[in-house]
Every structure is written in structure tokens, then in C-alpha cells.
Structure 1
Amino acid sequence: MTARTRSAPSAPARRRALGRARSSLLAGGLAALLTGCGGGALPPAPAADHAAPAPAGQAARVDLTGLPEASTFGDLDGAAADPAPQVGTDGVVLRVEHDVAVHDAPGGAPFARLPATQLGNPTWVPLIARQGGWGQVLLPSRPNSSTGWIRIDGAPITQARTPYHVDVDVDARRLVVWEGDRNVGSWTVGVGSSDSPTPRGRTYLMAAIEETVTKFSPIILPLGTHSETFNSYGGGPGTVALHGWPDPAVFGEAASDGCVRVPPDALRLLSTLPLGTLVLLH
């Protein structure tokens, strides 16, 4: 199994970069991650409109040694909950170029380390608030809706903006992709069963994985949220994803283990969206 990564500053550049050489992951590292929900590996890079590096400056050095990792495998007791879990953002996403400290407030105590990669993909997280040279971001760890503050002024951070967001009405079993105020696609989807419901709240496209192990979906799109029923999917961390399904009878049904099952044309569009794109589950 291989994972391939790329990066592009704009949507056209992202499309031109599809199919170019990507980096390899250790075989088997992702195979079990989404078993029961998905598995495999390939990231399309986040599309970033008008990407630009953060302003130059001297960020205070923080010793990252011993800080728990803010990844999909992490559990962060010190993380504050998302203050507005059903509110959109202005589309700003941050690329973490190197591991950075996550703080409990602007200039506050560090409680985690946000790594530069997630599941072999570059780390892009949505910015949900800003204060001075600090940004509050959504984190991919448990508990769901975890947030933290990272230094963005003078830190190894690239800022970009995506015009897209994804809206999933779990009760109506409907997924809509928006580009600004324009609906660019709407589909009936499958969602979690009553015993393993799809989690609600504000999350984001964390990674993209090309399936090479099973055949239920050619691409898996893990989100920065987790099942609240299962601690694990097949040995992985119980990461919820958007993915396809071979039997169209599941669309419109509540029968998954928490993931959102989407039709092939929806998956094709979703797999072109930037990493870090906001996904509202409600």
C-alpha cells in the first residue's frame, strides 16, 4: 500500500498536480485505520487560493518534548470544546509546515503538539478564530470538537483560503458541497445507524486515502472527528470518513458505523476539495 502526497497553492495547480509522484508510507500503516469504514492511502493536496506564508517574526520557542500529539490517534484532555460547532468560517486554512505547540489560550500554556502530517498527508486545519498573532484551530483528536491555539505570526505556518465547505444534514441524509454561496453538488447519502450515529458538529477534511486493500471505495476522506460509539475501527482510532459504497441501496439509509457513504460522483468532487475544508455535520 502506498500513500502519495502533493501540495499546490491554487485549485488549477492542484488539478495539474494530480497523478504526480508522491511520497511512500510504510505498508500496512493505514490499512487497518478505517477497516469497517475504509483503508488505504493517497492525499490530494489542499487547494489554497492566494496561499501565503505567515508574516516573518520570532515565535517563542516551546519545548515540544513530552507533549501529546494532536492527531487522529490522540486524546487531549486539555483541549477546549469548539465554541460554535455549527457556524461556518471565512475559509482560512493553515498548513503546519513543522510540528508546533498547541496552547490553551493565546500565549497560554502548551498542552499538545500538532504534527506536520496526518495519515501521511500534510496537516491543514481550519482557522476558527484569531487574536493578534494567534489562531484558534479545530484539532483532529478526541474528544470531538477539540480546539487549541497556535502561534501563526512568525511560526512555520502557511495561510490560505478555500472557497468550499461541505454541509451534511444527517437527519435528512443529504450532503451539499458549496463554493461560496453557490451549490455545486447535492446528493442523498448514507449515514450512521441509530446504534452508531454519525457525530455532529464542525469538522474538516483531514486527509485523502487511495484504497488499495478493500474495494468498497476508491478514495477515503477521513475527517477530524470520531465515532462516539466505537473506540476503534479495525484497530484504528475510529476516525469517521466520507467514502463511497458499492451498493447504491445504502444511500438514504442510516446503516453505517458512523461514516457518511456517498455516491461515486459526489466522491469524485469531494476528493478534489482542499484539505482543511470545513465540514458541517448537523
Structure 2
Amino acid sequence: MSLRRTAGGTARAARSLAAAALGLSCLALTGCAGTAPAERPPYAMARADLGMQADATTFTEFPTAPADPAPGGDTDGVVLRVQADTAVHSSPGGPVFAKLPAKQLDNPTWVPVIAERGKWAQVLLPSRPNGATGWVLEDQRTQRARTPYAVDVEIDARRLTVLRDGAPIGQWVVGVGASDSPTPRGRTFIMAAIEETVTKFSPIILPLGTHSNTFSTYGGGPGTVALHGWPEPSVFGQASSDGCVRVPDDALRLLATLPLGTLVHLR
């Protein structure tokens, strides 16, 4: 089964987020070009009413979601495709606190599995707080696949490595968050791929399922951390971004081919 982003190609179906469903540019979504943060976060709090569950997206927050039990741990590469609204439980068979929609930023929803119990899978969520997880029942609304890839970002060393079945296939010096807006640490995943048509700093933006811990929002967007390019190579090896990871062009070309749901370690 395919883990590709859309039937129409890499990020083409997610073209121009600003002109599409969200009305925001990728600049506002990720905030890594230095835009001033707005005062109030645009994300919604989860409703307690089980009949009104909020979507688990980059715009929502679930303060009581189970925390990732092993933020530095590896997985076996299993990812789940959510094909329709799927209930997210606090434990296998436990209370429902959210629902995963079929799409994230106009891309198919793929989330990494970090634990399993029978037909139940614990998955990483794209919502705040960072490291939020939930349990999903695998049924006709879900598909299972495996990605052999993983991305390792050593923040202090400012180095990004792409691995296939545990073996490095590419390594680059990258830019990371400044000391007052550090790149968040922990494991996350490639949530979407967006072909940028609004700004010029990166042709493709790869939003991750994690957020800035410094800013509640970037210029109207939810403060989503991303992997993306940068036109000025002097930033590579520097800690100068608002939290995103800035990568060279050849790194971005490889990263843009990785399946959605691929695990990303921010160490």
C-alpha cells in the first residue's frame, strides 16, 4: 500500500495553504522567517462533551492526553492511515477525548504507532502539548503500513541524518532554533508536505507534529515546527531560527520523498 502524500503527487494536492482551507501562508504556519507572534493562540481546546470531540490537528490542544512514555525511543516503523474520523481514546477502550480526521493540512493523515495492545494502537498526535498521544482501534477506518525511514536531528550538534532501516543514507549540517526560541525535543513525525507558493524561503515545507514551546503562535498560525529550506546558506550550523529546522536544498529534496508518518527524533 502507498504511503504517498496524495494521489496527485508529493505535495501538489496541498498547494498554497494560504489560498486553500486555512487562509494562512506557510510562513504563518511555521513562523520560521521571524514573524512576530500574535498574542492569542488560534488553536482550540478539546471539548469535554464526548459528542463534540475536537479534531486532533496541529491547531488543537489536549492537555489531558497521555504523554509519550518514551520521547527518545525508536519504533518499528509502523504507521497508521486514518481514512475517516476515528475516535482517540485515553487508553485501550477508555474514554474518547478527540478524533483523528482523515486529513492534516490537506494531506492524508498518517501517524506513527508507538505501542500496541491487541487491536489497539497508541499513536503520536499532531496536537499540543508536544508528545501528546492517544489510542486508536484498528478497524476498517484505518490502514497499516511500515516506513523504513527515520530522521534524526541532533540539535546541539546541528546535524540531521536520514536513515533507512537504521543505516544512514544522508547527513547534513542544519540550522536550529535560537537560544530564546529553541527547537523542541522529543520524537515527532512528518505530518504533511506543502508546496509553497506564497513565500520564497523554501519550495516545500514539511510540518511536523510538534510545536514551539516558546511561542503559542507564529503570526497567526499555530506555531507548528517544520523542516524546510533556506535561501541563505550561512544559517546552516547556526542556532538562529524561531524553532524550525532549516536544511540545505539536497537534504530537502530527500526529505520531501519520505512517507508521511515517518518518525523524526529531535534530540
Question: What is the TM-score when the length of structure 2 is the normalising length?
Answer: 0.87
Question: Do the aligned residues in 1 keep the contact of 2:56 with 2:101 (CA within 8 Å)?
Answer: yes
Q: What SS does structure 1 have at the residue aligned with 2:254?
A: helix
1:15: how far off? 11
Question: Do the aligned residues in 1 keep the contact of 2:184 with 2:266 (CA within 8 Å)?
Answer: yes
Query: What amino acid maps onto 1:117 in structure 2?
Result: K
Match of 2:19 in 1: 27
Match of 2:227 in 1: 242
Whole-Å separation in 1 of the counterparts to 2:227 and 2:149 = 16
1:9: how far off? 1.6
Whole-Å separation in 1 of the counterparts to 2:13 and 2:127 = 26
Whole-Å separation in 2 of the counterparts to 1:104 and 1:266 = 37
Whole-Å separation in 2 of the counterparts to 1:169 and 1:214 = 27
Query: What amino acid maps onto 1:182 in structure 2?
Result: A
Matching of residue 9 in structure 1 with residue 2 in structure 2: yes
Aligned counterparts, 1:218-257, within 5 A: 218-257=203-242
Match of 1:81 in 2: 67
1:22: how far off? 3.7
Ranges of 4+ aligned residues in structure 1 off by more than 6 Å:
14-17, 23-26
Cα deviation, 1:166-220, whole Å, max 9, x if unaligned, reads: 0000000000000012211000000000000000000000000111001000000
Whole-Å separation in 1 of the counterparts to 2:147 and 2:231 = 30
Whole-Å separation in 2 of the counterparts to 1:201 and 1:275 = 18
Aligned counterparts, 1:65-76, within 5 A: 65-76=51-62
Between stretches 269-278 and 72-81, larger displacement belongs to 72-81
Question: Do the aligned residues in 1 keep the contact of 2:194 with 2:204 (CA within 8 Å)?
Answer: yes
Query: What amino acid maps onto 2:73 in structure 1?
Result: V
Q: What SS does structure 2 have at the residue aligned with 1:196?
A: coil
Q: What SS does structure 2 have at the residue aligned with 1:80?
A: coil
Name the CA shift for 1:175/1:77 in 2 (closer, same or farther; >3 Å): same
- What residue ranges of structure 2 are gaps of 5+ in the alignment? 34-48
1:32: how far off? 3.4
Whole-Å separation in 1 of the counterparts to 2:88 and 2:130 = 16
Give me the identity figure in percent: 63
From 142, 156, 178, the equivalent of 2:141 is 156
Between stretches 65-74 and 93-102, larger displacement belongs to 65-74
Question: Do the aligned residues in 1 keep the contact of 2:58 with 2:224 (CA within 8 Å)?
Answer: yes
- What residue ranges of structure 1 are gaps of 5+ in the alignment? 1-7, 39-62
From 128, 143, 163, the equivalent of 1:142 is 128
Matching of residue 96 in structure 1 with residue 78 in structure 2: no
Whole-Å separation in 2 of the counterparts to 1:104 and 1:181 = 31
Match of 2:41 in 1: none
Cα deviation, 1:207-246, whole Å, max 9, x if unaligned, reads: 0011100100000000000000011112010000000000
Question: Do the aligned residues in 2 keep the contact of 1:196 with 1:229 (CA within 8 Å)?
Answer: yes
Match of 1:167 in 2: 152
Question: Do the aligned residues in 1 keep the contact of 2:26 with 2:205 (CA within 8 Å)?
Answer: no
Q: What SS does structure 2 have at the residue aligned with 1:81?
A: coil
Match of 2:243 in 1: 258
Name the CA shift for 1:137/1:215 in 2 (closer, same or farther; >3 Å): same
Name the CA shift for 1:20/1:113 in 2 (closer, same or farther; >3 Å): closer
Between stretches 83-92 and 18-27, larger displacement belongs to 18-27
Question: Do the aligned residues in 1 keep the contact of 2:89 with 2:135 (CA within 8 Å)?
Answer: yes
1:155: how far off? 3.8
Q: What SS does structure 2 have at the residue aligned with 1:207?
A: coil
Question: What is the TM-score when the length of structure 1 is the normalising length?
Answer: 0.83
